A and B are shown apart, each in its own frame.
Chain A
Amino acid sequence: MITIIVIVLGLIMIIAAFLAIYQKNLVAAVISAGVISLLASILYLLLAAPDVAMTEAAIGSGLTTVVFLYAISKIKKKDGE
Protein backbone atom coordinates (compact mmCIF):
# COMPACT_ATOMS: atom_id res chain seq x y z
CA MET A 1 0.00 0.00 0.00
CA ILE A 2 2.72 2.46 1.02
CA THR A 3 4.67 1.61 -2.12
CA ILE A 4 1.68 2.60 -4.28
CA ILE A 5 1.29 5.91 -2.42
CA VAL A 6 5.01 6.63 -2.80
CA ILE A 7 4.90 5.88 -6.54
CA VAL A 8 1.83 8.09 -7.07
CA LEU A 9 3.42 10.92 -5.08
CA GLY A 10 6.63 10.58 -7.07
CA LEU A 11 4.77 10.70 -10.38
CA ILE A 12 2.86 13.83 -9.33
CA MET A 13 6.14 15.38 -8.22
CA ILE A 14 7.73 14.72 -11.62
CA ILE A 15 4.70 16.19 -13.41
CA ALA A 16 4.81 19.25 -11.14
CA ALA A 17 8.53 19.62 -11.83
CA PHE A 18 7.94 19.64 -15.60
CA LEU A 19 5.12 22.15 -15.12
CA ALA A 20 7.43 24.35 -13.06
CA ILE A 21 9.95 24.37 -15.91
CA TYR A 22 7.68 24.67 -18.96
CA GLN A 23 4.88 26.82 -17.52
CA LYS A 24 4.73 30.25 -19.20
CA ASN A 25 2.84 31.79 -16.29
CA LEU A 26 5.48 32.50 -13.65
CA VAL A 27 3.13 32.48 -10.66
CA ALA A 28 1.80 29.06 -11.66
CA ALA A 29 5.38 27.81 -12.08
CA VAL A 30 6.31 28.97 -8.56
CA ILE A 31 3.22 27.32 -7.12
CA SER A 32 3.98 24.02 -8.84
CA ALA A 33 7.49 24.22 -7.39
CA GLY A 34 5.82 24.60 -4.00
CA VAL A 35 3.67 21.54 -4.72
CA ILE A 36 6.85 19.51 -5.23
CA SER A 37 8.05 20.47 -1.75
CA LEU A 38 4.68 19.73 -0.17
CA LEU A 39 4.57 16.24 -1.71
CA ALA A 40 8.23 15.69 -0.76
CA SER A 41 7.33 16.47 2.84
CA ILE A 42 4.56 13.83 2.76
CA LEU A 43 7.11 11.42 1.32
CA TYR A 44 9.54 12.16 4.18
CA LEU A 45 6.75 11.56 6.67
CA LEU A 46 6.00 8.17 5.09
CA LEU A 47 9.70 7.33 5.24
CA ALA A 48 9.66 8.01 9.03
CA ALA A 49 11.56 11.31 8.97
CA PRO A 50 9.12 13.77 10.62
CA ASP A 51 11.88 16.26 11.48
CA VAL A 52 12.83 16.69 7.84
CA ALA A 53 9.17 16.69 6.79
CA MET A 54 8.41 19.66 9.06
CA THR A 55 11.30 21.69 7.67
CA GLU A 56 10.45 20.82 4.08
CA ALA A 57 6.76 21.69 4.48
CA ALA A 58 7.42 25.02 6.21
CA ILE A 59 10.45 26.23 4.24
CA GLY A 60 10.03 24.52 0.87
CA SER A 61 6.36 25.04 0.25
CA GLY A 62 5.75 28.02 2.54
CA LEU A 63 8.54 30.55 2.80
CA THR A 64 10.39 29.83 -0.46
CA THR A 65 7.18 30.18 -2.47
CA VAL A 66 6.44 33.50 -0.80
CA VAL A 67 9.97 34.78 -1.37
CA PHE A 68 9.69 33.88 -5.07
CA LEU A 69 6.27 35.55 -5.34
CA TYR A 70 7.65 38.73 -3.75
CA ALA A 71 10.55 38.67 -6.21
CA ILE A 72 8.17 38.23 -9.17
CA SER A 73 6.00 41.12 -8.02
CA LYS A 74 9.11 43.34 -7.65
CA ILE A 75 10.30 42.44 -11.16
CA LYS A 76 6.86 43.16 -12.63
CA LYS A 77 6.78 46.51 -10.83
CA LYS A 78 10.17 47.38 -12.33
CA ASP A 79 8.95 46.36 -15.81
CA GLY A 80 5.82 48.45 -15.50
CA GLU A 81 7.70 51.67 -14.79
Chain B
Amino acid sequence: MVKRIIILLVIVFFAIIIFPLLKVDPTDSLSSLATKYIRDGADELGSANLVTSIVVTYRGLDTLGEVAVLFIATAGVGFLLRKKKNSSANKRRKSSEILSSGTSFLVPIIFLFGVYIFTHGHLTPGGGFQGGVVIASGVLLLMLSDVSLKFNHFLLSAIESFSGFFYIIIGILGLFLAGGFLDNRIFSLGTFGNIFSAGAIPIIYSLLGIKVGSELVGILGNLRDSE
Protein backbone atom coordinates (compact mmCIF):
# COMPACT_ATOMS: atom_id res chain seq x y z
CA MET B 1 0.00 0.00 0.00
CA VAL B 2 2.76 2.43 1.01
CA LYS B 3 4.63 1.41 -2.15
CA ARG B 4 1.65 2.29 -4.35
CA ILE B 5 1.27 5.69 -2.68
CA ILE B 6 4.97 6.41 -3.23
CA ILE B 7 4.70 5.42 -6.90
CA LEU B 8 1.64 7.67 -7.28
CA LEU B 9 3.48 10.54 -5.62
CA VAL B 10 6.45 10.11 -7.95
CA ILE B 11 4.15 10.13 -11.00
CA VAL B 12 2.39 13.30 -9.77
CA PHE B 13 5.79 14.91 -9.11
CA PHE B 14 6.97 14.18 -12.65
CA ALA B 15 3.67 15.44 -14.06
CA ILE B 16 4.16 18.73 -12.23
CA ILE B 17 7.69 19.01 -13.61
CA ILE B 18 6.82 18.03 -17.18
CA PHE B 19 3.49 19.84 -17.55
CA PRO B 20 4.96 23.36 -17.99
CA LEU B 21 7.05 22.03 -20.90
CA LEU B 22 3.85 21.46 -22.89
CA LYS B 23 3.31 25.20 -23.13
CA VAL B 24 6.78 25.83 -24.59
CA ASP B 25 6.70 25.66 -28.37
CA PRO B 26 10.26 25.13 -29.65
CA THR B 27 9.22 26.03 -33.21
CA ASP B 28 8.00 29.40 -32.00
CA SER B 29 11.32 31.22 -31.75
CA LEU B 30 15.00 30.37 -31.52
CA SER B 31 17.27 31.06 -28.60
CA SER B 32 20.04 33.59 -29.18
CA LEU B 33 22.71 30.86 -29.44
CA ALA B 34 20.69 28.94 -32.05
CA THR B 35 20.13 32.15 -33.99
CA LYS B 36 23.87 32.76 -34.04
CA TYR B 37 24.59 29.23 -35.26
CA ILE B 38 22.03 29.48 -38.05
CA ARG B 39 23.12 32.94 -39.16
CA ASP B 40 26.90 32.46 -39.07
CA GLY B 41 27.39 28.69 -39.16
CA ALA B 42 27.51 28.19 -42.93
CA ASP B 43 29.82 31.16 -43.55
CA GLU B 44 32.15 30.44 -40.65
CA LEU B 45 32.69 26.72 -41.11
CA GLY B 46 31.65 26.10 -44.72
CA SER B 47 29.56 23.02 -43.93
CA ALA B 48 26.27 22.66 -45.82
CA ASN B 49 24.82 20.47 -43.06
CA LEU B 50 24.40 22.74 -40.05
CA VAL B 51 23.92 19.80 -37.68
CA THR B 52 27.37 18.55 -38.63
CA SER B 53 29.04 21.89 -38.03
CA ILE B 54 27.47 22.02 -34.57
CA VAL B 55 28.26 18.39 -33.69
CA VAL B 56 31.83 18.36 -35.01
CA THR B 57 33.07 21.89 -34.44
CA TYR B 58 30.96 24.09 -32.17
CA ARG B 59 30.25 21.15 -29.84
CA GLY B 60 33.30 19.09 -30.80
CA LEU B 61 34.33 18.48 -27.22
CA ASP B 62 30.95 16.81 -26.52
CA THR B 63 31.49 14.53 -29.50
CA LEU B 64 34.92 13.62 -28.13
CA GLY B 65 33.20 12.76 -24.84
CA GLU B 66 30.66 10.56 -26.63
CA VAL B 67 33.46 8.74 -28.43
CA ALA B 68 35.17 8.21 -25.09
CA VAL B 69 31.93 6.78 -23.65
CA LEU B 70 31.64 4.36 -26.55
CA PHE B 71 35.29 3.39 -26.13
CA ILE B 72 34.80 2.67 -22.42
CA ALA B 73 31.69 0.61 -23.19
CA THR B 74 33.65 -1.45 -25.72
CA ALA B 75 36.51 -1.90 -23.28
CA GLY B 76 34.05 -3.03 -20.60
CA VAL B 77 32.39 -5.55 -22.89
CA GLY B 78 35.76 -6.85 -24.02
CA PHE B 79 36.94 -7.15 -20.42
CA LEU B 80 33.83 -8.95 -19.15
CA LEU B 81 33.47 -11.31 -22.09
CA ARG B 82 37.09 -12.08 -22.79
CA LYS B 83 36.89 -15.85 -22.28
CA LYS B 84 37.02 -17.51 -25.67
CA LYS B 85 35.34 -20.73 -26.67
CA ASN B 86 37.38 -22.87 -29.01
CA SER B 87 35.00 -25.18 -30.83
CA SER B 88 32.00 -22.89 -31.01
CA ALA B 89 31.59 -22.73 -34.77
CA ASN B 90 31.13 -26.45 -35.32
CA LYS B 91 28.01 -26.80 -33.23
CA ARG B 92 26.11 -24.06 -35.00
CA ARG B 93 23.62 -24.64 -37.74
CA LYS B 94 24.56 -23.47 -41.23
CA SER B 95 22.68 -20.43 -42.46
CA SER B 96 20.06 -20.77 -45.16
CA GLU B 97 20.69 -20.28 -48.87
CA ILE B 98 18.49 -17.18 -49.02
CA LEU B 99 20.42 -15.49 -46.22
CA SER B 100 23.86 -16.25 -47.63
CA SER B 101 22.96 -15.16 -51.19
CA GLY B 102 21.23 -12.04 -49.92
CA THR B 103 24.24 -11.23 -47.76
CA SER B 104 26.75 -11.53 -50.58
CA PHE B 105 24.58 -9.17 -52.61
CA LEU B 106 23.82 -6.65 -49.87
CA VAL B 107 27.00 -6.37 -47.81
CA PRO B 108 29.08 -4.44 -50.39
CA ILE B 109 26.20 -2.00 -50.89
CA ILE B 110 25.80 -1.54 -47.13
CA PHE B 111 29.53 -0.89 -46.70
CA LEU B 112 29.52 1.59 -49.57
CA PHE B 113 26.49 3.34 -48.07
CA GLY B 114 28.20 3.57 -44.69
CA VAL B 115 31.31 5.09 -46.23
CA TYR B 116 29.12 7.49 -48.21
CA ILE B 117 27.33 8.58 -45.04
CA PHE B 118 30.48 9.48 -43.16
CA THR B 119 32.40 11.04 -46.06
CA HIS B 120 29.39 13.20 -46.99
CA GLY B 121 28.56 14.09 -43.38
CA HIS B 122 29.12 17.80 -44.07
CA LEU B 123 26.77 17.82 -47.06
CA THR B 124 23.92 15.39 -46.35
CA PRO B 125 22.33 14.12 -43.14
CA GLY B 126 24.41 11.65 -41.22
CA GLY B 127 28.00 11.50 -40.15
CA GLY B 128 30.61 9.48 -38.37
CA PHE B 129 28.35 7.75 -35.87
CA GLN B 130 25.66 6.88 -38.38
CA GLY B 131 28.13 5.65 -41.00
CA GLY B 132 30.00 3.56 -38.46
CA VAL B 133 26.79 1.97 -37.23
CA VAL B 134 25.70 1.17 -40.80
CA ILE B 135 29.06 -0.53 -41.43
CA ALA B 136 28.70 -2.47 -38.16
CA SER B 137 25.23 -3.65 -39.24
CA GLY B 138 26.77 -4.88 -42.51
CA VAL B 139 29.31 -6.87 -40.51
CA LEU B 140 26.45 -8.21 -38.41
CA LEU B 141 24.79 -9.52 -41.58
CA LEU B 142 28.10 -11.21 -42.50
CA MET B 143 28.23 -12.76 -39.02
CA LEU B 144 24.71 -14.12 -39.36
CA SER B 145 25.30 -15.65 -42.76
CA ASP B 146 28.76 -17.10 -42.10
CA VAL B 147 28.82 -18.62 -38.62
CA SER B 148 32.52 -19.46 -38.73
CA LEU B 149 33.58 -15.90 -39.57
CA LYS B 150 36.67 -14.99 -37.56
CA PHE B 151 37.59 -11.51 -36.42
CA ASN B 152 41.10 -10.26 -35.99
CA HIS B 153 40.54 -8.48 -32.68
CA PHE B 154 44.06 -7.11 -32.62
CA LEU B 155 43.60 -5.45 -36.03
CA LEU B 156 40.21 -4.06 -34.97
CA SER B 157 41.59 -2.49 -31.82
CA ALA B 158 44.62 -1.15 -33.73
CA ILE B 159 42.35 0.55 -36.31
CA GLU B 160 40.19 1.92 -33.53
CA SER B 161 43.12 3.29 -31.51
CA PHE B 162 44.80 4.89 -34.52
CA SER B 163 41.64 6.66 -35.69
CA GLY B 164 41.03 7.93 -32.16
CA PHE B 165 44.67 9.06 -31.96
CA PHE B 166 44.47 10.99 -35.24
CA TYR B 167 41.17 12.54 -34.16
CA ILE B 168 42.87 13.99 -31.09
CA ILE B 169 45.89 15.07 -33.21
CA ILE B 170 43.59 17.02 -35.55
CA GLY B 171 41.90 18.55 -32.53
CA ILE B 172 45.24 19.69 -31.13
CA LEU B 173 46.35 20.99 -34.57
CA GLY B 174 43.26 23.19 -34.49
CA LEU B 175 44.57 24.66 -31.25
CA PHE B 176 47.74 25.87 -32.99
CA LEU B 177 46.65 26.56 -36.58
CA ALA B 178 43.08 27.82 -36.09
CA GLY B 179 40.70 29.15 -33.47
CA GLY B 180 40.77 26.39 -30.89
CA PHE B 181 40.52 22.70 -30.03
CA LEU B 182 38.82 20.74 -32.86
CA ASP B 183 38.46 23.85 -35.02
CA ASN B 184 37.94 22.68 -38.62
CA ARG B 185 39.59 25.67 -40.25
CA ILE B 186 43.09 24.14 -40.23
CA PHE B 187 42.61 23.46 -43.97
CA SER B 188 41.02 25.84 -46.47
CA LEU B 189 37.25 25.79 -46.40
CA GLY B 190 36.94 25.18 -50.16
CA THR B 191 33.81 25.76 -52.20
CA PHE B 192 30.59 25.57 -50.21
CA GLY B 193 28.75 22.34 -51.04
CA ASN B 194 31.69 20.45 -52.58
CA ILE B 195 32.89 17.18 -51.14
CA PHE B 196 36.35 18.63 -50.43
CA SER B 197 35.08 21.53 -48.38
CA ALA B 198 34.43 22.47 -44.76
CA GLY B 199 38.07 22.13 -43.74
CA ALA B 200 38.79 19.21 -41.44
CA ILE B 201 35.16 18.07 -41.02
CA PRO B 202 35.26 15.26 -43.65
CA ILE B 203 38.53 13.95 -42.18
CA ILE B 204 37.22 14.08 -38.61
CA TYR B 205 33.98 12.37 -39.62
CA SER B 206 35.81 9.66 -41.57
CA LEU B 207 38.03 8.96 -38.55
CA LEU B 208 34.97 8.90 -36.30
CA GLY B 209 33.16 6.55 -38.67
CA ILE B 210 36.08 4.11 -38.77
CA LYS B 211 36.43 4.31 -34.98
CA VAL B 212 32.73 3.78 -34.22
CA GLY B 213 32.45 1.00 -36.81
CA SER B 214 35.44 -0.95 -35.48
CA GLU B 215 34.27 -0.48 -31.88
CA LEU B 216 30.79 -1.82 -32.58
CA VAL B 217 32.17 -4.73 -34.62
CA GLY B 218 34.43 -5.47 -31.65
CA ILE B 219 31.42 -5.52 -29.29
CA LEU B 220 29.48 -7.86 -31.60
CA GLY B 221 32.48 -10.15 -32.07
CA ASN B 222 33.13 -10.31 -28.34
CA LEU B 223 29.47 -11.12 -27.66
CA ARG B 224 29.47 -13.93 -30.19
CA ASP B 225 32.82 -15.46 -29.30
CA SER B 226 32.43 -15.33 -25.54
CA GLU B 227 31.53 -18.32 -23.47
Binding site for B on A (CB under 8 A): 50-51, 54-55, 58-59, 62-63, 66-67, 70-71, 74
**Closest residue of chain A to B224, judged by CB?**
A70
Main secondary structure of the interface of A (DSSP, over half): helix
* 13 additional contacts (CB under 8 A) given A67-B219, A67-B223: A51-B130, A54-B125, A54-B134, A55-B129, A58-B133, A58-B134, A58-B137, A59-B133, A62-B137, A62-B140, A66-B140, A70-B224, A74-B226
B223 with A55: CB separation less than 8 A: no
Q: Residue B133 contacts which of A51, A63, A67, A71 (CB distance < 8 angstroms)?
A: A63
B130 with A54: CB separation less than 8 A: yes
A63 with B216: CB separation less than 8 A: yes
**Closest residue of chain B to A77, judged by CB?**
B227
- With contacts A62-B133, A70-B224 taken as known, whether A50 is within 8 angstroms of B219 at the C-beta atoms is no
B67 to chain A, nearest CB (A): 14
A52 to B129, CA, bound (A): 10
- With contacts A50-B126, A54-B117 taken as known, whether A63 is within 8 angstroms of B137 at the C-beta atoms is yes
Interface residues of B in 109-155 (CB under 8 A from A): 117, 125-127, 129-130, 133-134, 136-137, 140
A71 to B137, CA, bound (A): 17
Which of the listed residues A51, A66, A71 has the most CB atoms from chain B within 10 Å of its own CB? A51
A55 with B137: CB separation less than 8 A: no
B220 within 8 A of A: yes
A66 with B220: CB separation less than 8 A: yes
A55 to B128, CA, bound (A): 10
Question: Please, which residues of chain B bring their CB within 8 A of the CB of A63?
Answer: 133, 136-137, 140, 216, 220
**Closest residue of chain B to A66, judged by CB?**
B140
Question: Please, which residues of chain B bring their CB within 8 A of the CB of A55?
Answer: 129-130, 133
Question: Please, which residues of chain A bring their CB within 8 A of the CB of B137?
Answer: 58, 62-63
Question: Please, which residues of chain A bring their CB within 8 A of the CB of B223?
Answer: 67, 70-71
A58 to chain B, nearest CB (A): 4
A59 to B213, CA, bound (A): 12
Question: Please, which residues of chain B bring their CB within 8 A of the CB of A59?
Answer: 133
- Which 5 residue pairs of A and B lie closest in terms of their CB atoms, listed nearest first? A50-B125, A58-B133, A54-B130, A70-B223, A51-B125
